[in-house]
């Protein structure tokens, strides 16, 4: 019976997901046991694991098998299962944090029978997770996760300072360094939330930093920086730093349409006008 169900599931997945899989480059497919109970579990598991054009997860509530299809150049089985664990669902590689499991609706609170395999337990540590002996074998994000994006954010702030100083050459240099920092990010060390945001903004951030680096003048750099800042804001929101970050706004920039930026200083120093209107703007949010 189980064999029949598995065959039926595979056939169904082939028919339903053929188009979606076709959008994924360098596709790799794996089957993994993921705990869960019902259709609501299916929705949550698939939503947690999916990344547009990068990863697709289809979970069967009868067999408890999740079929993972993903771009092997952009993500991995471990990263997908980490996101699923952070959503509250155990697999043989990663156990959900107890608080994430406790937040599941009552109908979704499955019997927790899976245990991490010894080989994957070491892998979990390598991928920015650690084993908490006081938490029943739960895998939770480690403090190391919080620092992986710091070089990217630090260079963003340096780029902002260069624009405040109206120094186009410095801005060009900082944008080039920011591109290198972006390429150096080890996605395997990001937390689940960081990874999801990173994958969503990576293409745009790469393109915008390249535009700043190649820009002919400070005006063009500032316009590109205005487009870059909302993406960096998304990163800061999911990657807490060891100090407050201020999300600030200039209402006059871009013909009155306004633009935002991030700063480590509470006082406003406007990167869009520099000394012309250095203190024009206000803090709209303090991120701690």
Q: Does 191 share its domain with 232?
A: yes
* Same domain? 98 vs 197: no
135 and 22 together in one domain = yes
Residue 117 confidence class, pLDDT cut points 50, 70, 90: low
Taking CA atoms, 225 is separated from 15, 47, 142, 161, 199, in Å, by 44, 31, 32, 12, 20
Mean pLDDT is lowest, of 21-35, 123-137, 160-174, 189-203, for 123-137
Structurally, how many domains does the chain consist of?
Answer: 2
Domain with 18 in it: what CATH number? 3.30.70.100
Model confidence at 120: pLDDT above 80: no
* Domain that includes residue 104, residue range: 2-141
In this model, does residue 124 exceed pLDDT 80?
no
Which of 141, 157, 190 terminates a domain? The answer is 141
Instruction: Mark whether 181 and 283 lie in a shared domain.
Output: yes
Same domain, 125 and 159: no
**Which residue, 284, 245, 263, is CA-closest to 157?**
263
pTM of the model: 0.56
The pLDDT, as a whole number, for residue 126 is 36
Contacts 24+ apart (CB under 8 A), 23-27: 23/53, 24/53, 24/54, 24/55, 24/56, 24/69, 24/70, 24/71, 25/53, 25/71, 25/73, 26/71, 26/72, 26/73, 26/74, 27/69, 27/70, 27/71, 27/72
CA–CA distance, 192 with 121 (Å, rounded to integer): 17
Do 156 and 37 share a structural domain? no
Percent of the chain scoring above 70 in pLDDT? 81
User: Which residue among 109, 141, 173 closes a domain?
Assistant: 141
153 and 283 co-located in one domain: yes
Query: 155 and 275, same structural domain?
Result: yes
Sorted by sequence, the CB contacts under 8 Å of residue 83 that are 6+ apart come out as 48, 49, 192, 195, 196
């Amino acid at each position: 019976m189980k064999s029949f169900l598995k065959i039926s599931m595979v056939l169904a997945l082939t028919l339903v997901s053929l188009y979606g899989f076709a959008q994924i480059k360098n596709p790799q497919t794996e089957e993994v046991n993921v705990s869960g109970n019902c259709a609501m579990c299916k929705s949550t598991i698939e939503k947690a694991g999916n990344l547009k054009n990068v990863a697709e997860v289809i979970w069967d509530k009868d067999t408890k098998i999740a079929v993972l299809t993903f771009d092997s150049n952009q993500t991995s089985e471990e990263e997908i299962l980490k996101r699923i664990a952070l959503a509250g669902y155990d697999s043989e590689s990663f156990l959900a944090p107890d608080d994430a499991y406790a937040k599941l609706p009552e109908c979704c609170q499955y019997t927790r029978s899976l245990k991490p395999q010894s080989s994957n337990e070491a892998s979990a540590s390598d991928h920015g997770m650690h084993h908490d002996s006081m938490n029943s074998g739960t895998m939770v994000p480690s403090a190391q996760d919080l620092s992986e994006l710091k070089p990217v954010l630090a260079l963003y702030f340096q780029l902002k300072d260069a624009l405040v100083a109206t120094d186009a050459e410095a801005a060009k240099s900082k944008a080039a360094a920011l591109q290198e920092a972006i390429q150096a990010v080890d996605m395997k060390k990001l937390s689940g939330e960081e990874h999801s945001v990173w994958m969503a903004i990576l293409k745009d951030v790469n393109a915008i930093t390249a535009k700043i680096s190649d820009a002919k003048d400070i005006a063009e750099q500032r316009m590109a920086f205005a487009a870059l800042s909302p993406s960096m804001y998304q990163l800061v929101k999911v990657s807490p730093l060891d100090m407050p970050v201020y999300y600030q706004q200039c209402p006059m920039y871009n013909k009155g349409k306004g633009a935002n930026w991030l700063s480590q200083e509470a006082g406003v120093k406007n990167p869009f006008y520099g000394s012309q209107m250095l203190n024009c703007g206000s803090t709209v949010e303090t991120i701690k």
